[in-house]
Amino acid sequence: MSNNLRQSRLLKTLIYIESKLANPVIKRILKSRLHWPLSTRLLILNYRGHKSGQEITTPLFYIPKDSILTVITRRNEVSWWRNFKEEYPAYIWYRGDRKKTVGKASTDSETIKNSLKEILARSPHWKVALKVYGVPINPSDKQLEEYADKLVAVEFDKPISDGWT
């Protein structure tokens, strides 16, 4: 079995486990008063799908910078980000509170590469999280460019004050 096929199967298995087992537990915690251990890295995205009209809720890792919360995800393995190709309204559970926001996806490789550099420089936690997406722990610029083509960055306006809803 080829290495790529093994990685693909592993990723699909991890996505399944995440969606069926981990996500429901994480969503409960992030909406509770016990959110603080997780909410420094995780938020819950809640939006209505463009095509389906269904309400969709999913926890996501985020990277804060100034007034933006950035989420990095795989371009081909998940589809939720396509709802944000143009600016699109959503709600996020951010640090224990539900807040209105607007999201916009970017597939621009240079933007994603710069986001990856910043993320990897910040914390070893992000290095491990991005490893699941296939990004090496200490990637070269060339490797970052390769992976940037496989990823999407979705930026959400960060709520300014805790009282904003």
Q: How confident is the model at residue 165 (pLDDT cuts 50, 70, 90)?
A: very low
- Helix pair 141-148, 109-122: axis angle to 10 deg: 120
CA-to-CA distance for 19 and 78, rounded, in angstroms?
Answer: 12
Q: Which amino acid is at 98?
A: R
What DSSP line would sit under 12-29, residue for residue?
HHHHHHIIIIIHHHHHHH
Query: Which residues, including other chains, have CB under 8 Å from residue 5's CB and lie 6 or more apart?
Result: none
User: Based on the structure, what is the number of domains in the chain?
Assistant: 1
Q: Is residue 162 part of a domain?
A: no
Q: List pLDDT tens digits, range 50-82.
A: 889 999 999 998 888 888 999 988 898 889 999
The answer to whether residue 42 sits within a structural domain is yes
Buried b (16+ CB within 10 A) or exposed e, 122-158: eeeebbeebeeebbeeebeeeebeebbeebbbbbbbb
Domain boundaries, position 91: 3-157
- The predicted pLDDT at position 162 comes to 46
Q: What is the pLDDT of residues 4-53, one digit of tens each?
A: 666 667 667 766 666 677 777 777 777 788 778 777 888 999 999 988 99
52 within domain boundaries: yes
Asked if residue 69 belongs to a domain, the reply is yes
**9 within some domain:** yes
In the chain, beta strands by DSSP E: 42-48, 55-61, 63-65, 68-74, 88-94, 97-106, 151-157
Say which CATH number the domain at 62 has. 2.30.110.10
Question: Is position 165 within any domain?
Answer: no
The model's pLDDT over 95-116, given as tens digits with 9 standing for 90+, comes to: 888 899 999 999 999 989 988 8
Kindly state the tokens that stand for 143.
Answer: 């490797």
